[in-house]
Structure 1
Amino acid sequence: MEISGARILVAGATGVLGGLAACALAERGAQLALAGRNQVRLAALARDLGGPPARCFEACDLDQCSGLGPWAERALSGLEGVLVTVGAAGFGAVENVSNAMAGHLLTVNALCPMAVLRGAAPVVADKGFLLAITGEVNHRAAGEETADGLAGTADDLAGTADYTASKAALSGWLGVLTEELAPRSVAVLDIRAPRLDTGFTERSLTGRPPALPPGADAMKTVHSLLDDIASL
């Protein structure tokens, strides 16, 4: 896909990763629609990028989420792609995580991205793309080899049950969506990025993350992601 001129929605644009992705896409000539939770940061980002369409939304309002794709398609007079970078971290032993917090993690990390892509699927162009970040943690299990060649252990996973479940739910959903949109040649990208140096886990909504290695370079990951899109 030619990124220059492509009409792309970035949902989660006021987060660190979403903001980096929006700026990198703009540098490559994409026409953007921006959506994010923080109104002040969203206005500043839109101003810095020359005034693309921008809309605030709440991840817990799934109707708002599903409306983003149709809004972006109208605002841009077409839609070739969607990036969803929304997410929240939360940790703790299963008995210490409240049902309310578990539900919140599932909503932000799974139901929100699902709703965004559900709403965008009918309006994204054939041969376009839908992308969400699931990350690495949900693909690790005790005894499995990880991306860095290390074996996952029970200690590695302790305290991540609800976070892992939310990300795994999204990943499974994306796999089915891939098959459903195959007749239209719409690429569904499940980005299993490693932990990045965005401070994401330090902003945990509950508990503390397990011991983790230093995060990978977020900007390098963003440019790699854009290279993957360009190769579609």
Structure 2
Amino acid sequence: MDINGARVLVAGATGVLGDALTTELVRRGARPALAGRSPSRLAQVAHAHPEVPTAVFDAYDLTSCARAVHGATVALGGLDAVVTVFGTVAFGPAQAVGDEVAEHLVAVNYLAPAAFFRAALGVLAPGSVIAAVTGAVAERPQPRMADYSASKAALSAWLDAVRREARQAGIRVLDIRPGHLNTGFADRAVAGRAPPLPAGGDPHQVVEAAVDALEADAELLRTAADGTPVAGRRTR
């Protein structure tokens, strides 16, 4: 996909990673639309990018996720990519994380992104892309993060299955799995306290690599042992 001129919906644009992704897309000539949960924060991000269309969504209202996709499609005259860059985290032993917290993690980290993509699959043309930030925990679940890891793994598994379905329509799927990043995400947990974590990686480096991966038709973006993002294709 040619990023220059591409119409890209960034869902989660009000977060650190989403804001950085929006800025990088604009720098490379893309035409973004922005979706976020907080109207005030969404307005702040949009202020830096005049005339960019915006939409408010709530992860617990899946129809609002679909509305954001359809609204961006109308505003931009079509979409070439939909990228979800939002999520939430909780920490603690599995037995201590309550059912309500586990349900919240699944709703935000799996069901809401899937709702964005379900709507996108109905409007995207061949050559388009859906992409999500799942994280390294999707393939390497961590102790004291069981429910968080499971919610991200669920989204990654969904993307893997949809990738094979969408190939017939010429739509590509990118799974972005960075390690721990220096975004303050772990400090905003909905429950528990983060265990000792390694130094966070540079979110801007991951964002640049993610846009490169979109342009290169990659299917998977991982973080190597030295912290370098590495893009490639799935083995199946």
TM-score by length of 2: 0.89
Q: Which runs of 4+ in 1 moved over 6 A?
A: none
Q: What secondary structure, in the 3-state scheme, does the structure 2 residue paired with 1:95 have?
A: coil
In structure 2, the partner of 1:147 is none
Q: Identity across aligned pairs (percent)? A: 43
Deviation at 1:206, TM superposition (A): 0.3
In 2, Cα distance between equivalents of 1:228 and 1:138: 19
Which amino acid in structure 1 is aligned with residue 210 of structure 2? L
Deviation at 1:66, TM superposition (A): 2.1
1:158·1:210 contact (CA, 8 Å) conserved in 2? no
Deviation at 1:209, TM superposition (A): 1.9
In structure 1, the partner of 2:195 is 210
Once the two structures are superposed, residues 4-38 of structure 1 have per-residue CA deviations (whole angstroms, 9 ceiling, x without a partner) of 11111000000111111011101111111110011
In 2, Cα distance between equivalents of 1:52 and 1:138: 32
**Count of aligned pairs:** 217
Which amino acid in structure 1 is aligned with residue 38 of structure 2? N
Deviation at 1:202, TM superposition (A): 1.1
Stretches of structure 1 lacking an aligned partner (at least 5 in a row): 142-156
Deviation at 1:138, TM superposition (A): 2.4
Deviation at 1:130, TM superposition (A): 0.1
- 1:189 paired with 2:184, answer no
Once the two structures are superposed, residues 151-190 of structure 1 have per-residue CA deviations (whole angstroms, 9 ceiling, x without a partner) of xxxxxx2211100110010010001110111012211011
Equivalent residue in structure 2 for 1:164, among 149, 164, 168:
149
Stretches of structure 2 lacking an aligned partner (at least 5 in a row): 218-236
- 1:80 paired with 2:80, answer yes
In structure 2, the partner of 1:111 is 111
RMSD of the alignment, in Å?
1.0
2:90·2:148 contact (CA, 8 Å) conserved in 1? yes
In 2, Cα distance between equivalents of 1:71 and 1:126: 20
Q: What secondary structure, in the 3-state scheme, does the structure 2 residue paired with 1:94 have?
A: coil
TM-score by length of 1: 0.91
In 2, Cα distance between equivalents of 1:16 and 1:60: 21
In structure 1, the partner of 2:26 is 26
